[in-house]
Amino acid sequence: MKKLVFMGMVALSAFAACKSDKPDLKKEATLGDIMNSTKVSNSDLIRNPVTADAPVNPDEVPQISFTETAYDFGTINQGDTIVHVFKFKNTGNAPLVVSNARAGCGCTIPSWPKQPIAPGGEGSIRVKFNSKGKEGHIDKPVTITANTYPSTTSEVKITGEVNIPK
């Protein structure tokens, strides 16, 4: 009898462990999901006219639209520094908050506006590339995270060739 009770407890524990807190992949995203995924606090974000638990309506969230997503700097000498500004517009219907711009390595440093961009407003992502120690073909993407849906919606990149001076 003890074995039967023990087996029942093990089976019940295994069933409870299998039932996880994973989000339901079929559920609609909410504004709260968007805000949580972008790591923007409520105090930093001018809230959309949607409640945090309402399904996301694409017409009611910010949208980021770049005038260009790639910049080819041509050919430079090793050690040169390139700076390029990628301009964008908030084409959505709510304030846009860029929470991060991330490059793959320390040679590429992005900077972004910290204040919300109103619907119809414009902003820019400044990307600085230092070619010290680099050579050959360069392809440096920068991933933009904002309170859009989905939160990681854009990628800009700089490309070109780095020559070793003779």
* Total of domains in the chain: 1
* Domain with 51 in it: 31-163
Residue with tokens 């500004």: 85
Among 43-47, 49-53, 131-135, the range of highest mean pLDDT: 131-135
Helix (H, G, I), strand (E, B) or coil at 121: coil
Residue 107 β-bridge partners? none
127 assigned to some structural domain: yes
pTM over 0.75: no
CATH value at residue 142: 2.60.40.10
Residue range 109-121: average pLDDT?
97
Confidence of residue 32 (pLDDT cuts 50, 70, 90): very low
Confidence of residue 153 (pLDDT cuts 50, 70, 90): low
2 assigned to some structural domain: no
pLDDT at 130 over 60: yes
Strand spans (E) along 32-151: 64-66, 70-77, 81-90, 98-103, 108-111, 122-130, 136-146
Overall residue count recorded for the chain in this entry: 166
Cα–Cα nearest to 62, from 91, 99, 29: 91
70 assigned to some structural domain: yes
12 assigned to some structural domain: no
48 assigned to some structural domain: yes
Confidence of residue 48 (pLDDT cuts 50, 70, 90): very low
On whether the CB atoms of residues 159 and 68 are closer than 8 A, the answer is no
15 assigned to some structural domain: no
Instruction: Give the tens place of pLDDT for each residue, 73-105.
Output: 999 999 999 999 999 999 999 999 999 999 999
Residue 50, CA distances (Å) to 89, 115, 152, 155 in order? 21, 21, 20, 27
18 assigned to some structural domain: no
Higher pLDDT, 156 or 23: 156
20 assigned to some structural domain: no
Question: What integer pLDDT is reported at residue 18 of this predicted model?
Answer: 43
On whether the CB atoms of residues 112 and 52 are closer than 8 A, the answer is no
Residue range 61-69: average pLDDT?
94
For strands 70-77 and 108-111, give the pairing. unpaired
Residue range 50-75: average pLDDT?
80
